[in-house]
Chain A
Amino acid sequence: MTTTPNILRVTVQRGTAAALRQETFDVPAYENQTVLDVVTWIQQMADPTLSYRFACRVGMCGSCAMMVNGVPRWTCRTHVKKVAADGELDIGPLRNLPVIKDLVADMDPFFDKWVAAEARHHPSAERDDDFDPVTAQDPARAEADLGIECINCGICYAACDTVAGNPDYLGPAALQRAWTLLNDSRDADRDGILAAVSGKGGCHNCHSMGSCAQYCPNDLNPMRAIAGLKRETVRAAWGGKRDA
C-alpha cells in the first residue's frame, strides 16, 4: 500500500522568455488536490509574484492549461495523485507558445491561427430569414457535433509535434473548428474554409501522430477532423477547384 507523502516537491518554470529559471517549492499534500490547487497554494502562501491563468476551476473555460510533468493538462481537473511522480511535480507554461511570464503562455499565435483557418462563422442568413433547422440525425451535423465541445484550452496545440517542428502549421484546434464549420449547414463559406486550410500551414501538414486526440481533456479527436479536411480538400481539387 502506498501512502500519500505529506509534502509535494513542485518545480515551477519562472521568469520571462529572456531569462527562464526553475524554482522548487515544498507544498503540503492533501488527499484531494488538483494541480491548480498546488499552483494557487504557491501563489498565495509562498510567492505572490507567481503568474498563472485560471478562471472557472471546473473545466469549462480552458484558461488553466499548463505542462505538468512534461504533459499538457487542464490543471483544474487534474488530480495531483494521478500525475505526481514520487511526490514530485514539474509545472511549466504550455509548450509551442511564447512565454509571457512564469506559467502564462502567450495565446495570440494560437488564436491568430483560428482566424487564418477561417475557423469563424460565416453567416448564411439575414435577420428576417427563418432559422435553419438543425437535426442531430443529419450526418454532417453529427460530424460537426463531434468537435464542438472544444474549450480552446490549447492543450492539443501544445501536444502537437508538428506544431513544434513547423511554426506555420495551423494546429489541431483551429483545423477542428474549421471542420465543424464546414459541416455546419449555417455556414456560408465552404470554399473559403477549404482554401484557408489548404495553404502552406494547412491540414496537409498533419502527420496523424494523434497527440491531439491523446491529450484533449474533452476526449475530442482533432486528428479525425483533420483527416476529414484532407479528404474534402482533395475532393474539391478533383472537382476542378484548384485553389480550394
Chain B
Amino acid sequence: MLDLRLYMAQRLSALVMVPFVLGHIAVMIYAIQGGLSTAEILGRTQGSLLWFLFYGTFVIAVSVHAAIGLRVIAHEWGGLRGRVLDGLMWGIGACLFYVGILAVFAVALP
C-alpha cells in the first residue's frame, strides 16, 4: 500500500515543506504588524519570481504530501485498495495542485 517510492516521496515533500511552512507563518505575522492592506501585499507579490517559486514549490510539496497521507487513511480506515486507491490519491493530488496553483497565479502573476 505504501512502498518505498511513496514513502520517500512523502518524507521528501515533508522535508521541503518545513522551511516553507515556517517562512509562510513568519511572513504572515510580519506582514500584518504594520497593518498592510491586501492591495499593498499583492503589490509586493505580483510580478515577483521569488514569491512565485516560493508558493509554487510549496503547492507541489503539499499536493504530493497530502495525497499520499490521505491514501494511507483511505486504505486503513476506508478499506479502499488497488486502482480505486491509486485514483483517489492522484485525484486528491491533482485537485490540491489545481486549486493551489490558481492561488499562486492570482498572488504572484503580474
Chain B residues in 8 Å Cβ range of A34: none
Chain A proximity of B51: nearest CB distance (Å): 32
The complex places the Cα of A222 from the Cα of B72 at a distance, in Å, of 21
A16-24, A133-141, A162-170 - the one binding chain B: A162-170
**B interface bracket (residues with beta carbon within 8 Å of A):** 10 to 19
Chain A residues in 8 Å Cβ range of B76: 162, 165-166
A6-14, A115-123, A196-204 - the one binding chain B: A196-204
Chain B proximity of A40: nearest CB distance (Å): 37
Q: Contact flags (1/0) for A184-208 with B, using CB distance below 8 Å?
A: 0000000000000011111011000
Contact of B3 among A162, A165, A166, A202 (CB under 8 A): A202
Chain A residues in 8 Å Cβ range of B99: none
Chain B residues in 8 Å Cβ range of A200: 1-3
The complex places the Cα of A200 from the Cα of B4 at a distance, in Å, of 8
Contact of B4 among A165, A166, A233 (CB under 8 A): A233
A168 touches B1 (CB 8 A): yes
A204 touches B77 (CB 8 A): no
Chain B residues in 8 Å Cβ range of A199: 3
Query: Most A CB atoms within 10 A — which of B2, B6, B76?
Result: B2
B1 touches A198 (CB 8 A): no
Chain B residues in 8 Å Cβ range of A162: 76
**Chain B interface (Cβ within 8 Å of chain A)?**
1-4, 6-8, 11, 72, 75-77
**Chain A interface (Cβ within 8 Å of chain B)?**
162, 165-166, 168-169, 198-202, 204-205, 230, 233-234, 237, 244
Q: Please name 11 pairs of A and B residues whose Cβ atoms are closer than 8 Å in the assembled complex, sorted by A.
A: A162-B76, A165-B76, A202-B3, A202-B4, A204-B3, A204-B4, A204-B7, A205-B1, A205-B72, A233-B4, A234-B7
